[in-house]
Amino acid sequence: MLNIKSIMKMICMKSLREKLRMEKVIFDSNFVPINGFQSGCYDVYYVLYYDPKPRHKNSIYIPKDPVTEYKVSRNTNSACFSGVKGMLMPYLNLDPYCKSVKHDVPVPNKMYYKMNFKNAGKPILKKSERYAWLKMCKKHSLLPNYVVPSTVVTGEVVFDMVGIPPSLLYAYLTMMRAIVEYPAFVRSTVYLVDKVGMNFYAAFVYTTKYYITNYGHHIIAPNYSHSSINKSEAALTNMKSIDLDLMVSLYRFFKNPEKFDDRHISEICKGSWQCDSTIKDICKVKYCINAADLFKPSLKKIIETDTDKEVRKYIKDFTKEPSVRIVMKDISVKPKKSLEGENEST
C-alpha cells in the first residue's frame, strides 16, 4: 500500500513529465526586446479642415501643406490629441452634436496627421516593419483601407471623419502614433503575429502589458503596472494576468465599431474620445490568462465570439488544453551598420 510520501512523489514526477512535454515556443530577442527600449517624444502635429473632394474607396487626397491650402490652423496642444475637441468647438457654436444645423463655415471632415520619425523611440523601426504594422492594422480594421503605403515613408496620413465615431478616429490616430511613440510595441506585435503565429488580439494585449507606459496614449488602459523596474525575460515569458476579455472586446469593437459607439464625431465636444471606456466594457466575462496560454488552439475561437455566452462555453475547453513554454533567444542575424540607413528617420 502506498504511503503519503510515495503518492506525493508520484504526483511530482507526473507534473515534471508534463512540464517537460510542454511545447516550446522560441521568441527572437531581437524582435521582442526585453529591455533597452524607450518611448518616443509625445509631440504631435495635426490639422482639421473641410475638403469637398470625395474620398475614393482605396485612397484619399493628402495635401502637402493643409494649413496653407485650406487656410486653417494646426493644433496648439502638441502633447496629445485632446486638442481636437477645442479645434472643433468654433465650428459648432452652441450645438455640440451638429447633426442637422446648417453652418456658414463647413465643419471639418478631414484630419491630417504627420508623424515625426526623428522623435521616434527605441528601437528604430525599419520601413518594412512600419509597413507590416500598417498592413496588419488595416487587415484587422484598426486602420482604414484608404491609408496608403507611402505613409510609412512620408509620415503623412489623412483620416476621413465622416460617418465614424470619435472612439474609432482615436484608434486610427493611436495606431499611427505607436510607430513613433512605442516602436517596441509595434515591432514585437508584428513579429509575434507574422513570425510566431500568435493571434493578433492576443499579441496586442500581451505587448500592451509589457511595452506601453502611457495608457492615456493608448486605446486600452487595463491598469497594468507600467513601471520600468520589472522588465526582464521572466516578466515577459512568465507573464500572468493577461486580460482575455480585452482581446474579445477588441475583436468585437473593430468588427462593428458603430454598434458600440453610435456618436457623431462632433459629439467629442460634449465628452471625450471614450475609446478605452467603450472597448473595455464590451465583454463582461472577466477572465485572465498567462503567457503560457497564448498559443492554446481554442484561444482564437474564444476571441472571435459575438456573445459572452460563447466565451463562457469555450473557456471550459480552453482550460483543458496544454500550455507552452516560452524561451527567449538571439537567433537572427543583426543588420550590418551599412544597412542602418534604411532604419533612419525620413
Using an 8 Å Cβ cutoff, are 40 and 119 in contact? yes
Dihedral Cα 124, 129, 130, 136, nearest 10 deg? -140
Alpha-carbon distance of 205 to 342, in angstroms, equals 29
Low-confidence stretches of the chain (pLDDT beneath 50): 13-20, 96-97, 99-102, 335-346
Determine the pLDDT at residue 106. Answer: 79
Determine the pLDDT at residue 227. Answer: 67
Determine the pLDDT at residue 13. Answer: 46
Range 209-212 contact pairs with CB under 8 angstroms and sequence separation of 24 or more: 209/239, 209/242, 210/235, 210/236, 210/239, 211/37, 211/182, 211/184, 211/185, 212/182, 212/185
Reading the block at residue 327, the C-alpha cell is: 524561451
Compute the mean pLDDT over every residue in the chain, rounded to the nearest whole number.
86
Determine the pLDDT at residue 5. Answer: 59
DSSP state of 336: P
Q: Give the residues across from 327 on adjacent strands.
A: 26
Angle between helix axes 183-194 and 200-211 (nearest 10 degrees) is 150
Using an 8 Å Cβ cutoff, are 39 and 181 in contact? yes
Cβ of 297: how many Cβ atoms within 10 Å? 10
Using an 8 Å Cβ cutoff, are 211 and 185 in contact? yes
Task: Give me the residue spans of the domains in the chain.
Answer: 16-343
Angle between helix axes 166-181 and 127-139 (nearest 10 degrees) is 160
Cβ of 273: how many Cβ atoms within 10 Å? 23
Determine the pLDDT at residue 324. Answer: 94
Query: Rounded to the nearest 5°, which phi and psi values hold at 47?
Result: -140, 135
Determine how β-strand 23-28 pairs with β-strand 324-329: parallel
Alpha-carbon distance of 338 to 215, in angstroms, equals 36
Give the burial class of 54: count Cβ atoms within 10 A of its Cβ; 0-12 exposed, 13-18 middle, 19 or more buried: exposed
Give the burial class of 107: count Cβ atoms within 10 A of its Cβ; 0-12 exposed, 13-18 middle, 19 or more buried: middle
Using an 8 Å Cβ cutoff, are 40 and 180 in contact? yes
Using an 8 Å Cβ cutoff, are 275 and 170 in contact? yes
